[in-house]
Amino acid sequence: MADIALAPRRAKTEMREATAWDQLRHNKNWLGFWFMLPAMAFLIFFLAYPLGLGVWLSFTDARIGRIGHFIGTENYEWLWDDDIFWLSVTNTLLYTFVASTVKFAVGLYLALLLNERMPFKALLRAAVLIPFIVPTVLSALAFWWIFDSQFSIISWSLKHLGLITQNINFLGDTTWARICVIFANIWRGVPFVAITLLAGLQTVSPSLYEAATLDGASSWQMFRHITYPLLTPIIAVVMTFSVLFTFTDFQLIWAMTRGGPVNATHLMATLSYQRAIIGGQLGEGAAISSAMIPFLLGAIMISWFGLQRRKWQQGEGND
Amino acid sequence: MTDLPTRSINLKAVLSGSTPTADHSEGMSYLQSVPRRIVTLYMPLSIIVVILLFPFYWMALTAVKPDDQLLDLDKYNPFWTWNPTFKHIHKLLFESYYPHWLWNTMYVAVGATVLSIIASVLAAYAIVRLRYKGANLVGGLIFLAYLVPPSILFIPLATVVFQYGLFDSPLALILTYPTILIPFSTWLLMGYFKTIPFELEECALIDGASRWQILIKIVLPLAVPGLISAFIFCFTLCWNEFIYALTFLQSTPNKTVPVAIVNEFVDGDVYRWGSLMAGALCGSLPLVILYAFFVEHYVSAMTGAVKE
């Protein structure tokens, strides 16, 4: 039959040695390499390489349009004696700490509220997320207008309520400016925290609460001993992201105050932009942004160990 | 005060719980009386929602207010206007570079998103299903890449962009945005690919399909919701990006909307607020409309990447 005639020839082709080309096409590791190639190319050329280059630049006296020479730790020594740099570090820490704490508290509260049964729940949830959708700069401009020194709607309302007699100089006064940018950051970050925590809340089985109610637990006890422990993993991840993005925030500040008044709202990111791009001192700017790296590593480590702990709590294997 | 009613409702709860027709979807909300719910739920919720939405109301209102009402807070009630004007929006669309900027933003966002999704699909599939040597390590490294913020990278990237001759070109943004987008969408898609049954691929392998065919014909059609989520989320991130666009683009017609509005409309004019807010409104609307159509995908994108 036809099979018999074909058989020898096919056997011959199958006996053929696997060529290098075959290996490149079928070997699991080589295939993996080809599939990873585009993503890796982007991440290496535009992320890993600049990250290293940034650290290198911080040890040089590079300026815009001039390749720098190695000058050791001079940039860092210069920054060590620079009051504005330390002010920006303090501002960044204050901004991150206050904004993250409030975002977490309000976000968790909002998530608990949205988890209740109520009419128009889906619509409300969608509305809550809008501040997160709209580009930060554009909503920051709206805040700029809301906090205007002469035509602020807040000053107007408070004056008509008889609480104040003069306009508040929101973005011109150092304390008020800090409060305003922190408020705008909280406003922008709460939806993210709330919606992700809400997703975590929805995975908690209602029967746990029913059992707790039968045992006579108060709502605080239910929150403390059921909701909070079950939410810990997602809280760790969400707060890591929240802290990271607050710490390295740039656009909100740049659109609202550009670091003013008298550098009171300068964060490390805005200061490095001002020194490097506007001032042209690439080396010094790179040193400022490299100084952020230890803080970021610290934040990542904390959340990492937080995650480890909950795996152990839930009795999962140590894989 | 609420001792007595609560106790009687509790009794009812126990009774209704024992009947076979108990509706579990209702949960335990009947334990709360209506006034209590108003104070503990509706009031705080409405306060938070009003604060979250007020800036947009204010933005939209300012964009359509006539100039004289904008600054005269004593004669007119500032919270409403009876004679809206489209002057600011008209000026924006026909007397400025605004359409250019919108087009640039769209072009950059679509370009960077498409590039990132292609790269991420390949990478995520390789990590989850090919499981080559060191796949887990690479997955971890990609997650770490997500944690590297643009504020650290923009100075060295500016020099890189300058060296490659990409300065002041949209291509610079299309090539640099994927560093933000790829880590995120790879993690999101890894989660989706893991949910696709392995058996389907084994069948296809036995039938002689190559890995490439499996990816195109089996995995991708099943991962469409994940692809939509990744796409719109990446698109939003691109639209929102500011620091790279601010650093890499110089000439006015090349700018993206967020950068252009911050830099070009801020002159000394007291009446600038109308056009500024109109610009912010028009820059946000495309995203809000997109969001309105894909709320569920959006939420799953946001929570999916976090849960992994």
Cis, bond preceding A191 (omega within 30 deg of 0): no
B117 and B186 Cβ atoms separated by less than 8 Å: no
Domain range for B35 is 1-17+25-62
Does B5 score more than 70 pLDDT? no
Which carries the bigger pLDDT value, residue B243 or residue A259? B243
Q: Could you give the 3-state DSSP secondary structure of residue A135?
A: coil
- Report pTM: 0.85
Residues of chain B with Cβ-Cβ distance to A257 below 8 Å are none
Identify the CATH number of the domain defined by range A82-313: 1.10.3720.10
- Average pLDDT over chain A, rounded to an integer: 85
pLDDT category at B268 given cuts 50, 70, 90 is low
Instruction: Please give the helix or strand (H or E) that residue B87 lies within, else none.
Output: helix B87-94
Distant-in-sequence, close-in-space partners of B150: CB < 8 Å, separation ≥ 6: A248, A250, B180, B241, B243, B244
pLDDT at residue number A311: 54
> Do B112 and B179 belong to one domain?
yes
pLDDT at residue number A140: 92
Residue A260, class by beta-carbon neighbours within 10 Å (0-12 exposed, 13-18 middle, 19+ buried)? middle
| Pairwise CA distance, residues A153 & A146, whole Å | 6
Q: Please give, rounded to a whole number of angstroms, the shortest distance from the CA of A16 to a CA of chain B.
A: 19
- Average pLDDT over chain B, rounded to an integer: 82
pLDDT tens-digit series, residues A79-111: 999 999 999 999 999 999 999 999 999 999 999
> Do B152 and B265 belong to one domain?
yes
Mutate to test the interface with A, among B289, B306, B308 (most CBs of A within 10 A): B306
- Give the CATH number, domain containing residue B265: 1.10.3720.10
Tokens of B46: 């409405």
Does A6 score more than 50 pLDDT? no
Would you call A248 and B150 a contact, using CB atoms and an 8 Å cutoff?
A: yes
pLDDT category at B1 given cuts 50, 70, 90 is very low
Mutate to test the interface with B, among A28, A33, A35 (most CBs of B within 10 A): A35
Q: What share of chain A is helix, strand, coil (3-state, %, to 5)?
A: 75, 0, 25
Q: Where are the domains of chain A?
A: 82-313
Beta strands in chain B (DSSP E): none
Question: B145 lies in a domain?
Answer: yes
Mean pLDDT across B256-276 = 78
Question: B77 lies in a domain?
Answer: no
pLDDT tens-digit series, residues A177-227: 999 999 999 999 999 999 999 988 888 888 998 899 899 888 889 989 998
> Do B149 and B43 belong to one domain?
no
pLDDT tens-digit series, residues A9-28: 544 455 566 677 776 667 77
Place of tokens 């696997």: A18
> Do B199 and B302 belong to one domain?
yes
pLDDT tens-digit series, residues A103-153: 999 999 999 999 888 888 888 888 998 999 899 999 999 999 899 888 888
The CA-atom distances, in angstroms, between B14 and each of A214, B5, B17, B30 are: 9, 14, 5, 12
Nearest CA in chain B to A245: B149
Does B122 score more than 80 pLDDT? yes
Residues of chain B with Cβ-Cβ distance to A135 below 8 Å are 239-240, 242, 257-258, 283-284, 287
Does B17 score more than 60 pLDDT? no
Residues of chain A with Cβ-Cβ distance to B27 below 8 Å are 117, 206, 209
> Do B282 and B182 belong to one domain?
yes
Number of separate domains in chain B: 2
| Pairwise CA distance, residues B108 & A248, whole Å | 23
pLDDT category at B298 given cuts 50, 70, 90 is confident
Residues of chain A with Cβ-Cβ distance to B52 below 8 Å are 127-128, 130-131, 187, 190-191
Question: B73 lies in a domain?
Answer: no
pLDDT at residue number B13: 38
Put simply, whether A53 touches B (Cβ < 8 Å) is yes
Does B15 score more than 70 pLDDT? no
pLDDT at residue number A318: 39
> Do B139 and B32 belong to one domain?
no
> Do B37 and B115 belong to one domain?
no
Complex ipTM value = 0.83
Q: Please give, rounded to a whole number of angstroms, the shortest distance from the CA of B82 to a CA of chain A.
A: 18
Q: First-to-last CA distance in chain A?
A: 56
Residues of chain A with Cβ-Cβ distance to B302 below 8 Å are 132, 192, 195-196
Q: Where are the alpha helices (DSSP H) in B241-271?
A: 243-248, 257-264
Question: B80 lies in a domain?
Answer: no
Place of tokens 């490439």: B212
Does A157 score more than 50 pLDDT? yes
Residues 218-247 of chain B with CB under 8 A from chain A are 236, 239-240, 242-243, 246-247
Q: Please give, rounded to a whole number of angstroms, the shortest distance from the CA of A269 to a CA of chain B.
A: 6
Question: B84 lies in a domain?
Answer: no
Residues 201-240 of chain A with CB under 8 A from chain B are 206, 209-210, 213, 234, 237-238, 240
Would you call B55 and A187 a contact, using CB atoms and an 8 Å cutoff?
A: yes
Question: B170 lies in a domain?
Answer: yes
pLDDT at residue number A316: 44
Beta strands in B10-128 (DSSP E): none
The CA-atom distances, in angstroms, between B131 and each of A79, B139, B194, B209, B217 are: 46, 10, 12, 18, 20
Residues of chain B with Cβ-Cβ distance to A118 below 8 Å are 41-42
